Structure 1
Amino acid sequence: MKKRLLVTALLLSACSHLPSERPADTTTLKVPPQPVVVSEPEDVVIENSDTAESVATDFEHIFVDSDMTFSGTLPCADCPGISYHINLYRDGRFEVRQEYLERNQVNLVKGIWLLENRSLHLVNQQQTLPAFHFLSNRQLTMLDLSGKPISANQQYQLQRAAEFKKLDTRQAMLGLYMLSNNQATFTSCRSGDSLNVANTQHHLPVMRQYQQDARFNGNAVIATLVGRRGQDDQANTLFIDKFEQFWPGATCPDQIQPGKMQGIVWRAEKLTDRYVPQQLNVRVIFDQNDRLYGFAGCNNFNGNYKQRSNQLTVQPLVSTRKFCAESSELEQQFTQSLQSADRAEVNGDKLQLFKNNQLILQFKPAVN
Structure 2
Amino acid sequence: MKKRLLVTALLLSACSQLPSERNAAPAEAIIAPTQIVPQQAEEDVVANSTTAEAVATDFEHIFVDADMTFSGTLPCADCPGIAYHINLFRDGRFEARQEYLERNQVSIVKGIWLLEKRSLHLVNQQQTLPAFHFVSNNQLAMLDLGGKPISANPQYQLQREAEFKKLDTRQAMLGLYMLSNNQATFTSCRSGDTLSVANTQHHLPVMRQYQQDERFSGNAVIATLVGRRGQDEQAGTLFIDKFEQFWPGAICPDHVQPGKMQGIVWRAEKLTDRYVPQQLNVRVIFDQNERLYGFAGCNNFNGNYKQRSNQLTVQPLVSTRKFCADSSDLEQQFTKSLQSADRAEVNGDKLQLFKNNQLILQFKPAVN
Same fold (TM over 0.5): yes
State the partner residue of 1:223.
223
Residues 216, 57 of structure 1: alpha-carbon distance in 2 compared, 3 angstrom cutoff: farther
SS of 1:334 mapped into structure 2: helix
Residues 204, 255 of structure 1: alpha-carbon distance in 2 compared, 3 angstrom cutoff: closer
The one-letter code matched in structure 1 to 2:241 is: D
Cα distance in structure 2, aligned partners of 1:243 and 1:56: 55
Cα distance in structure 2, aligned partners of 1:296 and 1:225: 16
SS of 2:85 mapped into structure 1: strand
Q: Is the 8 A contact 1:54 1:138 kept in 2?
A: no
Q: Encode CA deviations 1:42-91: one digit per residue, 9 max, x unaligned.
A: xxx98978x77985863411111111100000000111000000000111
Cα distance in structure 2, aligned partners of 1:139 and 1:53: 19
Q: Is the 8 A contact 1:69 1:88 kept in 2?
A: yes
Residues 116, 353 of structure 1: alpha-carbon distance in 2 compared, 3 angstrom cutoff: same
Following superposition, the deviation at residue 364 of structure 1 comes to 0.6
State the partner residue of 1:166.
166
Residues 58, 137 of structure 1: alpha-carbon distance in 2 compared, 3 angstrom cutoff: farther
State the partner residue of 2:37.
none
State the partner residue of 2:214.
214
Q: Is the 8 A contact 2:223 2:245 kept in 1?
A: yes
Residues 256, 320 of structure 1: alpha-carbon distance in 2 compared, 3 angstrom cutoff: closer
Task: Work out the percentage of aligned pairs sharing the same amino acid.
Answer: 89
Q: Is the 8 A contact 1:57 1:137 kept in 2?
A: no
More helix by share: 2
SS of 2:338 mapped into structure 1: helix
Gaps of 5+ in 1: 1-44
State the partner residue of 1:156.
156
Q: Is the 8 A contact 2:96 2:108 kept in 1?
A: yes
Matched, 1:116 2:121: no
State the partner residue of 1:232.
232
Q: Is the 8 A contact 1:269 1:364 kept in 2?
A: yes
TM-score (norm 1): 0.85
The one-letter code matched in structure 2 to 1:268 is: A
Residues 131, 312 of structure 1: alpha-carbon distance in 2 compared, 3 angstrom cutoff: same
Following superposition, the deviation at residue 297 of structure 1 comes to 0.4
Cα distance in structure 2, aligned partners of 1:293 and 1:213: 16
SS of 2:206 mapped into structure 1: helix
SS of 2:241 mapped into structure 1: strand
State the partner residue of 1:31.
none
State the partner residue of 2:42.
none
RMSD between superposed Cα atoms in Å:
1.7
Residues 120, 196 of structure 1: alpha-carbon distance in 2 compared, 3 angstrom cutoff: same
The one-letter code matched in structure 1 to 2:364 is: K
SS of 2:83 mapped into structure 1: strand
Matched, 1:136 2:136: yes
Cα distance in structure 2, aligned partners of 1:310 and 1:53: 73
Matched, 1:329 2:329: yes
Following superposition, the deviation at residue 152 of structure 1 comes to 1.2
The one-letter code matched in structure 2 to 1:82 is: I
Residues 337, 179 of structure 1: alpha-carbon distance in 2 compared, 3 angstrom cutoff: same
Q: For 1:1-368, what aligned pairs fall within 5 Å after superposition?
A: 58-59=57-58, 60-254=60-254, 257-368=257-368
Cα distance in structure 1, aligned partners of 2:367 and 2:173: 7
The one-letter code matched in structure 2 to 1:283 is: R
Q: Is the 8 A contact 2:189 2:254 kept in 1?
A: no
Gaps of 5+ in 2: 1-44
Q: Is the 8 A contact 1:67 1:89 kept in 2?
A: yes
Cα distance in structure 1, aligned partners of 2:281 and 2:131: 31
Q: Is the 8 A contact 1:313 1:339 kept in 2?
A: yes
Cα distance in structure 2, aligned partners of 1:145 and 1:334: 40
Q: Is the 8 A contact 1:54 1:136 kept in 2?
A: no
SS of 1:254 mapped into structure 2: helix
State the partner residue of 1:30.
none
Higher alpha-carbon Rg: 1
The one-letter code matched in structure 2 to 1:220 is: A
Cα distance in structure 2, aligned partners of 1:206 and 1:69: 35
SS of 2:253 mapped into structure 1: coil
Cα distance in structure 1, aligned partners of 2:236 and 2:101: 28
Residues 218, 135 of structure 1: alpha-carbon distance in 2 compared, 3 angstrom cutoff: same
Following superposition, the deviation at residue 256 of structure 1 comes to 6.0
Cα distance in structure 1, aligned partners of 2:309 and 2:46: 76
Following superposition, the deviation at residue 258 of structure 1 comes to 2.0
Q: Is the 8 A contact 2:304 2:315 kept in 1?
A: yes
Following superposition, the deviation at residue 259 of structure 1 comes to 1.4
Cα distance in structure 1, aligned partners of 2:359 and 2:46: 63
Following superposition, the deviation at residue 151 of structure 1 comes to 1.1
Residues 214, 151 of structure 1: alpha-carbon distance in 2 compared, 3 angstrom cutoff: same
TM-score (norm 2): 0.85
Structure 1: 4+ residue segments shifted above 6 A: 45-49, 51-54
Q: Is the 8 A contact 2:46 2:52 kept in 1?
A: no
Q: Encode CA deviations 1:279-307: one digit per residue, 9 max, x unaligned.
A: 11000000000000000000000000011
State the partner residue of 2:13.
none
Cα distance in structure 1, aligned partners of 2:254 and 2:219: 19
SS of 1:251 mapped into structure 2: coil
The one-letter code matched in structure 2 to 1:137 is: N
Cα distance in structure 2, aligned partners of 1:261 and 1:61: 56
Residues 72, 47 of structure 1: alpha-carbon distance in 2 compared, 3 angstrom cutoff: farther
SS of 1:73 mapped into structure 2: strand
